[in-house]
Chain A
Amino acid sequence: LAKTTQPISMDSYEGQEVNITCSHNNIATNDYITWYQQFPSQGPRFIIQGYKTKVTNEVASLFIPADRKSSTLSLPRVSLSDTAVYYCLVGDKGDDKIIFGKGTRLHILP
């Protein structure tokens, strides 16, 4: 499984756009990039998944450059309720193990 590197923590303010970047230099051809969100005292929940270029849903956008060695999760106009830990995962759909790193602790300030 490709190893990922994310910032340990980030602070931002309500109403701003937040971008969290994940590095995955040894990503394999068949690997997908998936992001999860975890609120305090809850299990993680799926946010978005992509393979290349850009993916957007009602919660976030995921930007993946051509070399796929990094990806950026973009949260538009964050609110206090977006305070959470965000995990970037990289792996093949055929992988058996899902490995979470330490994630990025995002703290939204009023």
Chain B
Amino acid sequence: NAGVTQTPKFQVLKTGQSMTLQCAQDMNHEYMSWYRQDPGMGLRLIHYSVGAGITDQGEVPNGYNVSRSTTEDFPLRLLSAAPSQTSVYFCASSYSRVQETQYFGPGTRLLVL
């Protein structure tokens, strides 16, 4: 099992550009989520999904869109990048809902100029 994979590892964007951060898991997990982590800070929940076709907002959803067309994939879209979205983005998955062991991906470092 590859676990949770994220691509790209690092990305530089200009303000106003759009992009998609990819997240995939091969563990047949129903629950997936996206977090952002700013320097010296904890993780903040952006969006989450309890299963294919179902998504919901977390703590900081503005500026981000998600979709869950398959169990395996949970892409995060930045519609119009802003410098405030410079952060490290982590994707996580678990077998079911909260308080099951969450498995995290390696992260994507995003720099918005």
Contact surface of A with B, Cβ cutoff 8 Å: 32, 34, 36, 41-46, 49, 85, 87, 89, 91-103
Contact = CB atoms under 8 A, between A and B. Distances in A.
A107 to B, nearest CB: 13
A101 B45 CA distance: 10
Nearest to B101: A46
Contacts of A32: 99
Contact of A97 (B4, B48, B90, B92): B48
A98 B102 contact: yes
Contacts of B74: none
Interface of B: 4, 33, 35, 41-45, 48, 50, 56, 58-59, 90, 92, 97-107
B42 to A, nearest CB: 4
B99 A91 contact: yes
B97 A36 contact: no
A93 B100 contact: yes
A103 B42 contact: yes
Nearest to B49: A96
24 contacts: A41-B107, A43-B106, A44-B43, A44-B90, A44-B104, A45-B104, A46-B101, A46-B102, A46-B103, A49-B101, A87-B43, A93-B97, A93-B100, A94-B98, A96-B98, A97-B45, A97-B59, A98-B33, A98-B92, A98-B98, A99-B45, A99-B59, A100-B42, A102-B42
Contacts of B99: 32, 34, 49, 89, 91-93, 95, 98
